[in-house]
Amino acid sequence: MSALDRKVPSAAVRGPHAVAAMLFGLVWISCVWFGSYALNPNTATRLFAAITLVERGDARIDRYQSLTIDKAQFGQGDARHYYMDKAPGMTLMALPAVWGVDRLTGTEASDQIIDIANPRLTAFMRARLSVAVASTAAILTAFATVLLLDLGTGITGSPAAGLFAALGYAMGSIAWGWSTSLFGHAPVAALLLIATWAIWRGTAGATEEARGRYPVMAGLTLGWAVAIEYQSALSGVAIGVWALWRTRRFAARARWRIYNVTLVSAAAAFVPVVVYNVIAFGTPFMLGYQGVVGFDGMNQGVFGLTYPKPAILWEILFGLRRGLVWVSPVLLVGVVGLVGMIRRPDTRDMGWLAVAVIVVVVSINASYYYWDGGASIGPRHSVPAIPFLAIGLAPFWASLRGPRLRQAAIGLLALSMVINLVIASTDIFAPEALAAPAWTRNFVGLFLAGKLQTLPNLFFGWGAWFGFALYLDIALPLLALIVWQTRRAERALSE
């Protein structure tokens, strides 16, 4: 009997707590263990803004602007100044890390020679980037993974199905690699999933007393997702409409309380963006994107967004250079699972929500002038769609009958995890001209050549392969223990 055939009330079965705790640790350390280039223009501009906010109390990056092509310019002549050209969410999240490392090391940017060839500057930036990632992107991805474990377990009644979905999202997709740096894509993916879980939990049999925290959680995460990437507001609208549907049978008074709490929480989460804009530009109504220099494509449509192009949609999903299927193949069967969800009355609404968010995210990516993300492994702008594809992995696993089918599914997940281990341990950035960067550069040019980026070799000078082996010594036993505990929980439910 498959897990989907069990008579399990929606959300009645929770993700095992012991598995959740170990899974959080595995995903967090997997994101923190591997580093990325600290002076990548997209990462550096966010760090430069955080450094100037911490050390000088303003957002101008004039001193560092020559080191990044991702910048905004306002004013002319002596009044000309440079700023980060991104939404400020990731920069604001990095402020505690920059402040803490400054105090711990007793060094500041004013002590550095601003030259991209200066190894001391690279080390200065790397330390702040690593702590920022550990305290932001890595935590969010790990937390979202645990919640996906719970969600997948709840909608199928199977902890194994929940684990299959969680691992497919966090370690079987490029969400892993993009969680090792200060880009906003993986944190937004995590925040959208956290909001989805909060709405699902808050409307799936939660007690009246417990319901109060879920609207706050949903509002804060949706608001902060917009603070990181403005276009995530469109995905937030889809999630909001789904929340209206999920609460349609609540008493009117309860509904309006939930709506008001959610909206106030979302607005509160966005307040730091308003404060940043006032500090940077003297007004809350200015965006860094309005001053972008060097990217003329941003003048098309709304900051580079026009309409989805079918050819680009194909490239995002199946193209050899950026196609999601080549770097996260396990997500293919997530589509099968979503179809199954839509066909079942008790999961139909969540299945349609997942489809809606996927369509919104991928359509925005296909509408963007710079859709390929420049030096990128996989379609980085489509990363926020990944957890919603991964939701379908749980019902897919639960629908499998017989050991051979499950062994094949495990093999597909293992292949995806190996691919993304190679990507995360080498480089998430790749020259734009490469036809198949994950295979020709990451695997052949970097991994097989031992050009890895691990904590031990980046910070302590140890051998790259030693640092990689040490990670496996930690991760593989932990993964085995997670699987063992999940199987115990699965057997307990069957008895």
d(Cα 383, Cα 11) in Å, to the nearest integer?
Answer: 26
Backbone angles phi, psi at 213, to 5 degrees: -80, -25
Do residues 325 and 281 both lie within one domain? yes
For tokens 């993916």, the residue is: 189
Closest residue by Cα to residue 34 from 464, 358, 453, 384: 453
Same domain, 184 and 81: no
How far, in Å, CA of 348 to CA of 385, rounded?
A: 18
Same domain, 66 and 213: no
Q: 141 and 121: one domain?
A: no
**Residue 224 shares a structural domain with residue 347:** yes
The verdict on 351 and 376 lying in the same domain is: yes
| For range 466-495, the mean pLDDT | 93
pLDDT of residue 12: 67
Name the region of 77 (left: φ>0; alpha: ψ -120 to 50; beta: rest). Answer: left
Residue 83 pLDDT: 94
Q: How far apart are CA 14 and CA 4, in angstroms?
A: 15
Q: Structure pTM? A: 0.95
The CA-based angle 78-82-83, given to 5 degrees, is 150
Q: If pLDDT is split at 50, 70 and 90, which confidence band does 3 have?
A: very low
Mean pLDDT of 330-357: 97
Tell whether 328 and 218 lie within a shared domain: yes
Q: What pLDDT, on a 0 to 100 scale, did the predictor assign at position 16? A: 84
Residue with token string 């220099």: 293
- The span from the CA of 481 to the CA of 220, in Å, is 33
Name every residue whose Cβ is closer than 8 Å to that of residue 293 and which is 6 or more positions away in sequence.
Answer: 71, 72, 73, 85
Of the candidates 380, 293, 365, 371, the one whose C-alpha atom is nearest the C-alpha of residue 84 is: 293
Tell me what pLDDT residue 481 has.
97
Q: DSSP for 344-360?
A: STTTHHHHHHHHHHHHH
**pLDDT tops 70 at residue 208:** no
What mean pLDDT do residues 376-382 have? Answer: 95
Domain stops at, among 134, 165, 194:
134
Task: Quickly state the pLDDT bin for 211 (edges 50, 70, 90).
Answer: low
Q: What is the pLDDT of residue 2?
A: 45
Does position 10 have pLDDT exceeding 60, yes or no? no
How high is the pLDDT of residue 209?
A: 52
pLDDT at residue 367 is higher than 70: yes
Average of per-residue pLDDT values in the chain: 92
> Are residues 253 and 207 located together in one domain of the fold?
yes
Q: Do residues 226 and 299 share a domain?
A: yes
Judged against a pLDDT cut of 50, whether residue 74 lies above it is answered with yes
CB 219 within 8 A of CB 266: yes
What is the C-alpha separation between 420 and 414, in angstroms, rounded? 10
Query: For position 415, what pLDDT does the model report?
Result: 98
Determine the Cα–Cα distance for residues 229 and 335; give it in Å rounded to an integer: 25
Residue 138, Cα to own-chain centre: how many angstroms?
Answer: 9
Residues 199-226, mean pLDDT to the nearest whole number: 85
Cβ atoms 406, 355 nearer than 8 A? no
Torsion angle in degrees (nearest 10) through CA of 361, 365, 367, 371? 180
282 and 362: one domain?
yes
Neighbouring-strand partners of residue 292? 72
Give the mean model confidence (pLDDT) for residues 115-126. Answer: 92
The span from the CA of 441 to the CA of 182, in Å, is: 22
Q: Has residue 210 got a pLDDT over 60?
A: no
Based on the domain organization, do 24 and 62 belong to the same domain?
no
Q: How does DSSP classify residue 81?
A: E
Number of H helices, E strands in the chain: 22, 2
Say whether pLDDT at 77 is over 90: no
Q: 321 near 437, Cβ under 8 Å?
A: yes
- Tens-digit pLDDT profile for residues 146-163: 999 999 999 999 999 999
**Above 60 in pLDDT, residue 9?**
no
Q: What is the pLDDT of residues 473-486, one digit of tens each?
A: 999 999 999 999 99
Residue 358's pLDDT band (cuts 50, 70, 90): very high
Report the number of distinct structural domains present in the chain: 2
Give the closest residue to 272 by CA, choosing from 311, 223, 305: 223
Domain boundary among 134, 162, 189: 134
Residues of the domain holding 50: 41-134
Determine the average pLDDT of the residues in 203-232.
Answer: 86
Query: 59 and 195 share a domain?
Result: no
pLDDT of residue 478: 97
Boundary residue ending a domain (134, 153, 175): 134
pLDDT of 7 over the 50 cut: no
Percent of the chain past pLDDT 90, that is, above it, reads: 81
Q: How far apart are CA 325 and CA 133, in angstroms?
A: 26
Confidence band for 6, pLDDT divided at 50, 70 and 90: very low
HSE-up of 255 (CA within 13 Å, CB side)? 11
| pLDDT band of 11, cuts 50, 70, 90 | low
